[in-house]
Amino acid sequence: MSNKHQVHNLIILDESGSMESIKPATIQGFNEIVQTIKGVEQQFPEQQHFISLISFNGLSRKTHLWRQPVSSLNALTADTYKPDASTPLFDAMGTSLGRLSAELDGEADYNVLVTILTDGEENASVEFTGLAVKNLVEKLKANRWTFTYIGTDHDVEKIALSLSITNVLRFEKNADSMKSMFLNESIARTAYSKKIRDKEDTSDNFYKQ
């Protein structure tokens, strides 16, 4: 059993129909995140990183990866990411956060970094309300969970704050903006692991390095 400090990277990715216009950039960006996390794990050998990737739309929630060691990941492809239908964001968040929280119950030596990437407001959830998700986020933030919200085409800051998420990144639907956003993401992840190593607060200022 490894005695390394576990870092769980939970990525909740919008797969609704409006993401079709940025599908290639989204796939490339996720795959770059994976490479970043692999590099971070090498830079901070006392940490062991895992990735969980959930994509969601009004048709289904897909568990592409769940607590998988970053060293063994396959890339996201056009065959595995197919935008369609509506945006049940609260359901995707509530179920994913609840599952990972339950599985980590009783563990002590870990951090969780949750990344939400979406291009639209919630419009289709039936299992969770915004208030229920907000309460869950606030509970988890008190236990070494860090939340980030990356968005476009809606009031990103307003929606994030309504869920008690203060680490916010906005992008425009074009290649240059998305490239810049994913670069910012990469830099922030490295700084985040440094904060863990140095036992600093990781809850806020994720994108302000």
Residue 150 is part of which domain span?
A: 8-197
The answer to whether residue 3 is domain-embedded is no
The answer to whether residue 76 is domain-embedded is yes
Q: Is the pTM of this model over 0.85?
A: yes
For 24-72, the pLDDT digits (tens) are 999 999 999 999 999 999 999 999 999 999 999 999 999 999 999 998 7
Range from 1-5, 123-127, 150-154 carrying the lowest mean pLDDT? 1-5
Per the structure, the count of domains in the chain is 1
The answer to whether residue 208 is domain-embedded is no
The CATH number for 143's domain is 3.40.50.410
The answer to whether residue 153 is domain-embedded is yes
Task: Give the span between the Cα atoms of 136 and 56, in whole angstroms.
Answer: 19
The answer to whether residue 206 is domain-embedded is no
Quickly state the pLDDT bin for 73 (edges 50, 70, 90): confident
Kindly state the percentage of the chain with pLDDT values over 70: 99
pLDDT of residue 169: 95
